[in-house]
Structure 1
Amino acid sequence: MHQSFYQFLMTQRNHLAYDEISNFAQNAFLDQAFPKQAIDYHEISEYLELNAGYLPSMDIFDTTWQRYQESEG
């Protein structure tokens, strides 16, 4: 069974790191409404575009999504 994007994103959390993906993961962790079970790019992308003021650029999501896809290989 595949993990959700959120589950993958939580593997990228590192409170000692200051890179964009670690920050994205930390902020998603704090976002109570994040779609935690979602595995669909468009569902997550739409949520982030409408609700995630903590994500300064959707490029960060796209890069993280690519890593997620590679991990599911």
Structure 2
Amino acid sequence: MPKTFYQYLMTQRNPESYDPIATFANNAFLDSSFPKQDTEFDSLSKYLEENAPYLPSMTIFDDAWQMYLAALA
């Protein structure tokens, strides 16, 4: 079974980094409502747009999603 997006994102955590994807991962880790089992772009995007004030730009999610897809290949 492939990794979920959340599982991949957790590999990008780095509390000492100012990289936008690392910051996204750090904040997603603290988000108890994050859809951890989700693997669908549309539902994750909708969740983040509606419930993630810690994500300053959806471009960060788009970049992380592309990295996730590359890791699955």
Gaps of 5+ in 2: none
Gaps of 5+ in 1: none
Q: Which residue of structure 2 aligns with residue 41 of structure 1? A: 41
Identity of aligned residues (%): 56
The CA distance in 1 between the partners of 2:56 and 2:18, in whole Å, is 14
The CA distance in 2 between the partners of 1:71 and 1:43, in whole Å, is 20
The CA distance in 1 between the partners of 2:47 and 2:4, in whole Å, is 15
SS in 1 for 2:24: helix
AA of the residue aligned to 1:50:
E
Task: Tell me the number of residue pairs that the alignment of Structure 1 and Structure 2 aligns.
Answer: 73
Q: Which residue of structure 1 aligns with residue 61 of structure 2? A: 61
The CA distance in 2 between the partners of 1:40 and 1:47, in whole Å, is 11
Q: How far does residue 16 in structure 1 lie from its aligned partner after superposition?
A: 1.4
Runs of 4+ residues over 4 Å off in structure 1: none
TM-score w.r.t. length of structure 1: 0.98
